[in-house]
Chain A
């Protein structure tokens, strides 16, 4: 198959669109940046793409709540198109604000009726924070279906930058089913992969959850920014240690490979 086509969706307040598009381009994807008004108007575009990315930012100012207004827009204007896109094998990634949108629209952790079961709410520290965090991935578990995290290191290093990233589930049942289905892709941890309080877990997320996927493993949402670690010079300590492949890049490569190898 040819290099996959990626649609990076943007709207008022999206602000990580260019670097997200760039990360996909580094992985030989063909990328279009498109305003949601344009997607809604023509309705056809989604079909032409293999991957949909909802980047970080403050969609509609995060007025009311982070990602809320855009998630409603998706639910009311693009529901059928999104359903078709997912069922026909398309991949979706939501980063930071994009994750908030996926969660609030019910696309993650995912059920057929687009009902919200988890949320991302105000950090326990009640402020926006930019800091690098270690993440323990569940990729080494054979049962993990997540396409985006295949073969990724057990502990990776990415920055978070958000004010509303505390992951909370509706109830214990939802949390248990996430665990059972291996949908918890990333958990905040320390350098050794062990859990800890603030700032190891920067926002107070339940179960240290930083990222989840849907049951098929095709939709990924995460608060940390993989697109901000695709060069060595983005690592906060690159002047101390020359590290190997930047951790964020692998995530985009996985998505590209998923189509290239078919």
Chain B
């Protein structure tokens, strides 16, 4: 039987979904919709009685204080009313199903049933068909995962599944050993292997030596293991690099042969620094450092750009889910204690008509991504405490979605070791066709003949499944029930088991893997990227205790094979051998890539415009710009206080709405020990010189840690490269140059990299148009603080306090927001003198640690003017500043000496604004001796920010609440 139960708000109850949609429709420019009503439908297939359905409706579904239900479709007047029903495509997981089945059992309904949900929107008003189409496509559904329900029968058919035929089963062999180069290329394309011809030939030679052809499963496994995503073959390959830079007006040419970029730059820093507190770097799923006597902490940041471009909610959702599993899969499992998220989007006011076909409008991408992070992070109970959001039109094709997680684990649980004869156990979610190949797919292909087809790369996560898995894994960890753990991420079981068994070898019986629905082939089971799964290795004598523990918390744990000692990867499907590969070939057989890389520094260009008159107006414009403006709309949607660990929150100040620098959390509730976390990112600098982009990003991440009272001497960083197509020499060249910048700055600051990730090929091609992202590096930093109560915030605390600037200001306006607003260019990007900056940061930390600094904020986007303005309105105090006291040098253009706008808005690195009690003047100045600093003014009780320029006149006098309004109004959605 097929049942439909519908819920809606009773007359007189507020319908928030309908009301929000009504507003969004007006945003689309359609004003004729008077009202929208939302109906939630539950579709149930199964042998149930009328009585049971009523019981479900009354006891489980309806909240009769505000809602009413119907066992058929609700009736509504037909005149000027349009109903649109949206349901998930076949094969897309509906997170409600699992909870629903559990709840039905609580009601003593134990029959086998299938449950899906759909959403109905009833629009009242006069609309034509193109308006309805616009509303439907822009606001209501994404055809990659959902479809518009035409009739009940087709909806019902989407419930059916097909049983697999295992009689007459034969593994499928691919004829490789007789294939020509042309055929090899075809095979790679047809099977979506993404292997190049050199790699295909290597595989052909390998199987020729075995005198047999590979099965489809073997080929898929090799492709997964050798993929850019899992192998990072570009950054580990051979690179012939040429560089042209300018020195004293002359071109300097350099040629360098690089054998392994990561090893020669990022990893080399860590090796040379030899920090005793680095526990495990670049080997596990995340990097581990010492926290206190008992615990270590680990940090990983991932990207999920391609999926987020297609389905923003699902992409961001599974992005955060994946990085959480990285922490859970580090050592013997770490408990996640905080999340970070950093996004790059196209401008939200991008004209609707100028969005190329196949792309979503940036505003929809932004809302979807934010909801995706909110949904997963909040439901997992992990505070999302730090982030950044940046904008540029080149992110129209590929938004960047970085998700990071820090975890904590007992020291003794920081390493894993698989033993011979350990059982392979898959735990958590079931396996479906999710994420296979990231295949192109659209719902129009759906016929009742087709099997459950997933939407390729696009998935929706189930955070509660992952929360259950996390809870029970940490319990099992503390009972020593397993010897190793890793997550099922890209490549699914193929990479998880392949990695864990890379030394010993592994055997898996694929039919034992629990499935979401019937009909999966053996290679689909093997490479599926279904979410919320982890793989454990378990000693046979502990398997019963482990399975019992998992059962107690309703989490599936299934033995699917064992680690053998054969040094082979052997896979079986119903006793047929479908894969038999040497682990050595699988992991070390990939041929080295040879690539060319070029970097040419742009020809220096100077500033020629004159200083504009109304600098106050520019300050307001800067504060209102998308990159600088308040991100409160996003931050408040994240639970940033769950776990009770919060010390410095992302929003701070007298009414809790100023922009904090780093965040500080105290993960062990009865200890003062804390973690500060921050990020540095500025892709605009990279458009001029990626070397200084990298150095600036490191400087920024470190500055923010110092601002809240953290030290750079117990600080570790992570790199995340997001780039365009590295097969293009200029793209790879800028990436190489960026890695050199990382090496220089991290080395001179003395901060080790502990983990990293790259996401390449971020280009969108549509006909003749290519939209490529600007090469972007994100630096994430975490620092261990001994005493959380020494932390400080960025808001001014009291009138009469002195304001200092620490660090030198230079004429470095290149790629600044000021030039962006005034629509001018300059190539003089901010540089970093890391040795000097290190000294500054260490001394400033000392001053903060002594309690000499009341507030501290770094100068970054928008320069010192924006920094002081933010400190003013966050604390609700005014300030008087004298620009002539700011230590300033015009190193690029001597004619810029004494220019107010240059001093105000230059984005030179390694600078801080600090607030000091006049009584501490002498001791502060003594503490900072040897560092560039200068008193520049004082905090006032008036509500104005008043800045006196080189003319000795006030060049800016702005009401701080007006400044705050400029800063807040842009993203007040």
Contact = CB atoms under 8 A, between A and B. Distances in A.
B63 A240 contact: no
A126 B666 CA distance: 31
Contacts of B108: 76
Interface in B1-47: 13-14, 16-17, 19-20
Interface string A36-72: 0110000000000000000011101111110011001
B103 A60 contact: yes
Nearest to B854: A239
Contact of A19 (B637, B639, B644, B656): B644
A63 B462 CA distance: 11
A261 interface: no
A35 to B, nearest CB: 6
A225 interface: yes
Contacts of A231: 644
B925 to A, nearest CB: 23
Contacts of A12: 464, 467-468, 553-554
A22 B789 contact: no
A22 B669 contact: yes
A189 B640 CA distance: 22
A212 to B, nearest CB: 14
Contacts of B106: 69, 72-73, 76-77
Given A122-B16, A126-B16, A237 B656 contact: yes
Nearest to B18: A126
Given A13-B467, A128-B637, A63 B96 contact: yes
B644 A22 contact: yes
Interface stretch (B183-191, B374-382, B416-424): B374-382
A133 B638 CA distance: 16
Contacts of A22: 644, 669-670
Contacts of B529: none
A210 to B, nearest CB: 17
Contacts of B793: 239-240
Interface stretch (B136-144, B494-502, B582-590, B647-655): B647-655
A225 B16 contact: no
A18 B468 contact: no
Contacts of A123: 16
Given A58-B379, A159-B641, A240-B654, A104 B63 contact: yes
Nearest to A77: B106
B464 A58 contact: yes
A228 B554 contact: no
Contacts of B855: 239
A222 B468 CA distance: 25
A228 B641 contact: yes
Interface string A233-251: 1101101100000000000
A71 to B, nearest CB: 10
Given A72-B59, A123-B16, A130-B641, A16 B65 contact: no
B646 interface: yes
Interface stretch (A84-92, A111-119, A136-144, A177-185): A111-119
Interface residues of B, number: 68
Given A16-B381, A38-B552, A128-B378, A117 B65 contact: yes
Interface in B605-653: 635-644, 646-649, 651-653
Contacts of A117: 65
Contact of B464 (A10, A61, A119, A240): A61
A168 B791 contact: no
Interface string B429-467: 000000000000000000000000000000000111001
B19 A126 contact: yes
Contacts of A166: 14
B920 interface: no
B797 interface: yes
Interface in B467-487: 467-468, 471
Contact of A60 (B380, B464, B654, B875): B464
Contact of A130 (B380, B638, B652): B638
A61 B215 CA distance: 41
Interface string A120-162: 0111111111111000000000000000000000000001010
B464 A13 contact: yes
Contacts of B637: 127-130
B95 A61 contact: yes
Contacts of B65: 116-119, 121, 168-170
Contact of B656 (A38, A77, A128, A236): A236
Contacts of B638: 130
Contacts of B64: 116, 170
Considering residues B95, B464, B553, which has the most beta carbons from chain A within 10 angstroms of its beta carbon?
A: B464
Contacts of B14: 124, 166, 204
Given A15-B467, A60-B464, A129-B637, A68 B63 contact: yes
A131 B656 contact: yes
B61 interface: yes
B197 interface: no
B60 A64 contact: yes
A116 B67 CA distance: 13
Contacts of A10: 471
Given A57-B381, A63-B99, A240-B795, A161 B654 contact: no
Nearest to A56: B642
Contacts of A60: 99, 102-103, 464
B572 interface: no
A261 to B, nearest CB: 26
A63 B656 contact: no
Contacts of B669: 18-19, 22
A230 B644 contact: yes
B620 to A, nearest CB: 25
Interface string B854-873: 01000000000000000000
A227 interface: yes
B103 A69 contact: yes
Nearest to B384: A130
B133 to A, nearest CB: 24
A109 B363 CA distance: 42
Given A65-B63, A233-B789, A240-B654, A130 B640 contact: yes
Considering residues A56, A62, A122, A230, which has the most beta carbons from chain B within 10 angstroms of its beta carbon?
A: A122
Given A64-B61, A128-B374, A204-B14, A69 B553 contact: no
B494 to A, nearest CB: 29
Contacts of A125: 16
A234 B63 contact: no
B264 interface: no
Considering residues A10, A62, A129, A239, which has the most beta carbons from chain B within 10 angstroms of its beta carbon?
A: A239
A240 B871 CA distance: 13
A72 B635 CA distance: 33
B99 A69 contact: yes
A189 to B, nearest CB: 16
A26 to B, nearest CB: 9
B553 A37 contact: yes
Interface string B776-814: 000000000000110111010100000000000000000
B100 interface: yes
A72 B60 contact: yes
Contacts of B107: 72, 76
Contacts of A69: 60, 99, 102-103, 106
A62 B462 CA distance: 12
10 contacts: A16-B642, A19-B642, A60-B102, A62-B379, A64-B100, A69-B103, A118-B65, A121-B66, A124-B16, A228-B646
Given A64-B100, A121-B13, A234-B644, 9 more contacts: A15-B467, A58-B378, A60-B464, A63-B98, A64-B99, A72-B107, A76-B107, A118-B65, A124-B16
Interface of A: 10, 12-16, 18-19, 22, 35, 37-38, 56-58, 60-65, 68-69, 72-73, 76-77, 104, 116-119, 121-132, 159, 161, 166, 168-170, 204, 225, 227-228, 230-231, 233-234, 236-237, 239-240
* 7 tightest Cβ-Cβ pairs between the two chains A and B: A15-B381, A19-B644, A63-B99, A126-B16, A119-B65, A61-B464, A60-B99
